Amino acid sequence: MYPIFKKFHIPYPLSDYLPNPLIIYTYGLCIFLGIVLSFIFFYKKSKDFGLKTEDVGLIFLVAIAAAFLGGKFLYFLEAPFYHSVNFDLFLKNWQVGFVFFGSFIFVVISLYYLFRYYKLPVFVAFDWLAICGMIIHGIGKIGCFAAGCCYGKPCSNFFAVTYTHPLAVARPLGQSLYPVQLIDAFFVLTLLIVSLIFFRKKPFDGFWMIMYTMCYAVLRFFTELIRGDESRGYIIKNYLTHSQFISVVLVVICLFLLRYKYKKK
């Protein structure tokens, strides 16, 4: 696809201080766009659950840091021996090397304690946070599609995609692959639209965060079956990947929370 969005040739004397050419990668641009849009949304809605607007920036900085550390940490755990031996490559590889569930879990845990610190209604705040997560997640998956990461297995279906750009992460080049990234993006953005339309009709606080987590975990369990980047590793060789295992755990937790919330209601 299009891993590079735009190249800029930097004129002298700025070329002495900036990379030349300056390259804007599509994946990074999509993540940046998702963060900006979700920040604007969260900023406008922060008063709905008692958060001071001046504290929104800190919450987003914590979330970004947690997403980065969590994504890298789980990626390391998928193949700890390999990454230990090739640790320089692990640190330098910014185009790939992040696991969504690692980022998601670290963000949820970090912000749970941060919301508690600010004495906010945690489940109310997490519902708005779920909307922000879906914005970044959905747009980010479009960036994944452009870069070729999270690519699918070879297939011959009419909706298959073929990567030819030498900088694309997807392999093999020139082979029709399942568009796993677009499946994820379509699902998450559809869930985002549904959540925004029916947000006020939620049966209890925390409902949309639970729905986002559970629905994507179910989707991820099945899309793992057509993922082509099998080097991520297995819990049970050739049967259960790390992400599938985490998906099962998250679904069980979400079902428990749903039962608890409905009984409490």
pLDDT digits (tens, 9 = 90+) for 36-59: 999 999 999 888 777 888 888 899
Q: What is the pLDDT of residue 97?
A: 65
Statement: residue 239 has pLDDT above 80: yes
Q: What is the pLDDT of residue 264?
A: 82
3-state secondary structure 84-96: HHCHHHHHHCCCC
pLDDT in tens, 175-208: 999 999 999 999 999 999 999 999 999 999 999 9
Give 16-25 contacts, CB < 8 A, sequence gap 24+: 25/95, 25/147
Give 152-155 contacts, CB < 8 A, sequence gap 24+: 152/177, 152/178, 152/179, 152/180, 152/226, 152/227, 152/228, 153/177, 153/178, 153/226, 153/227, 153/228, 154/228, 155/226
CA distance 245 to 107: 19
Return the closest-CA partner of residue 144 out of 118, 170, 126.
170
Q: Is the CA virtual torsion 101, 254, 242, 142 positive or negative?
A: negative
Q: What is the pLDDT of residue 72?
A: 85
Q: How far is CA 86 from the centre of its chain?
A: 25
What residue type is 245 in one-letter code? F
**Average pLDDT value for residue range 82-90:** 68
Cα–Cα distances in Å, from 169 out to 57, 59, 94, 146?
33, 32, 12, 10
Q: What is the pLDDT of residue 224?
A: 93
Q: What is the pLDDT of residue 177?
A: 96
Please answer whether residues 169 and 68 qualify as being in contact, where contact means their C-beta atoms are separated by less than 8 angstroms: no
Tell me 19's DSSP state.
Answer: -
Statement: residue 116 has pLDDT above 60: yes
Q: What is the pLDDT of residue 37?
A: 96
For all residues of the chain together, what is the average pLDDT?
89
Statement: residue 20 has pLDDT above 80: no
What residue type is 116 in one-letter code? R
pLDDT in tens, 127-181: 999 999 999 999 999 999 999 988 999 998 888 999 999 989 898 999 999 999 9
Within 13 Å of residue 18, how many CA atoms lie on the same side as its CB? 13
Give 1-6 contacts, CB < 8 A, sequence gap 24+: 1/26, 1/145, 1/146, 1/147, 1/148, 1/161, 1/163, 1/165, 1/168, 2/26, 2/146, 2/165, 3/27, 3/95, 3/146, 3/147, 3/148, 3/165, 3/167, 3/168, 3/169, 4/167, 5/29, 5/146
Statement: residue 94 has pLDDT above 60: no
Tell me 206's DSSP state.
Answer: T
Statement: residue 9 has pLDDT above 80: yes
Return the closest-CA partner of residue 243 out of 94, 77, 66.
77
